[in-house]
Amino acid sequence: MDSQPVFFVGNIPIYGNLILSPMDGLSERPFRSLVRKSGSAMSYTEFINAIDVLADIHRIQKKIAFYEFERPVVFQIFDDDPDRILNAAQKLTLFQPDIIDLNLGCSAHHVASRGAGAGLLPHPQKIARIISNLVKHLPVPVTAKIRLGWDEHSRNYLEIARIIEDCGAQLIAVHGRTKVQGYTGRADWDAIAEIKSKLHIPVIANGDVQTVADIQHIRNQTQCDGVMIGRAALSNPWIFSSRDRSEVPPHEVKSWIEAHLHEMIAFHGEELGVILFRKYLKRLLTPYQLSEDILLALLTATDLKILHHLINDVFNTLIEP
């Protein structure tokens, strides 16, 4: 951890410039907390549907669960209705997040098609109302995560970024693609640099950061205050401690797998924890090019003892001199 803050979100010091991106179904407490220990400077929750918060706060308890050591903790919220967003955010502040973040970047059809996430980008005035309401009524800083626009013909990122800052938000994270792009094509780091050059609040760059070298490249190109890493962190959580996956020996990968599996079981219970762990395990094992039979056995095991045995077998082979 840096001894001096790298930047501030309002009055909250951030000691580091690498941050795990919020990812639906992935950045829950077991994974997020381990990455926080490994160098991520903030903890963003998975995005939280305002409708779910208002219907039954218990429905989203797991999404907002966090360890104290993860602070600063950011609850990310999404919806298309300004009043619902405000009411849900006010409810969420009772669970003591450090920051509330508005999701303006999710490109998933079921979110964007209803006008939430990136579906808000074509509606600047609605965004202004949402941010202004949140800033006025919440006791914590408000931030936002955006994309560059709906499509190549409506890249209104500068207008949106200025609205977010002018309405009182304290940080903006930018994924360098449009909604229509999804995760295809290349992230436009020059657009992020343009936003950074026009704003006074911190700007976090996101998109196509795969390696330690990429971190320095995106920082040099955008002059951003921090770098947000999503998909690449699933196969290489060590990137937050400035190591590429090729630098991580098998025994460290095994230790991470064991720690993550333990957290998943503590969080979800043994049966569900083992099943949900598969999506992480598959990504962590990808560099080893295991046979289809071994991989199938690992990713279909339902018994914890059998899974441990299979993991030990794989790594005993990998670790042997």
CA pair distance 127, 133, nearest whole angstrom: 10
Average pLDDT over residues 299-309: 95
For residue range 100-156, list pLDDT tens digits in order: 999 999 998 889 989 999 999 999 999 999 999 999 999 999 999 999 999 999 999
* Backbone phi, psi, residue 13, to 5°: -75, 140
Q: Which two tokens stand for residue 129?
A: 């109302």
Dist. CA 53–CA 56, nearest whole Å: 6
Give me the sign of the Cα torsion angle 260, 283, 278, 105.
positive
In this prediction, residues 241-249 reach a mean pLDDT of 96
Please name the residues in contact with 267: beta carbons below 8 A apart, sequence gap of 6 or more. 28, 29, 30, 62, 65, 273
Task: Classify residue 167 by its DSSP letter.
Answer: T
Q: List 20's β-bridge partners, or say none.
A: 229
Kind of pairing between the strands at 142-146 and 99-104:
parallel
* Rounded-to-integer distance, Cα 288 and Cα 182, Å: 28
Residues 265-286 have pLDDT tens digits of 999 999 999 999 999 999 999 9
Exposure pattern of 220-231 as b/e (b: 16+ CB <10 Å)?
eebebbbbbbbe
**Is 304 in a helix, a strand, or coil?**
helix
Residue with tokens 């939430």: 116
Whether omega before 72 lies within 30 degrees of 0, making that bond cis, reads yes
Alpha carbons 35 and 105: distance in angstroms, whole number: 22
Mean pLDDT of 197-201: 98
Query: Full-prediction pTM beyond 0.85?
Result: yes
| CA–CA dist 79, 99 (Å, integer) | 17
φ/ψ of 95, rounded to 5, equals -95, 10
Q: Residue 320 pLDDT more than 70?
A: no
Active site residues: 106
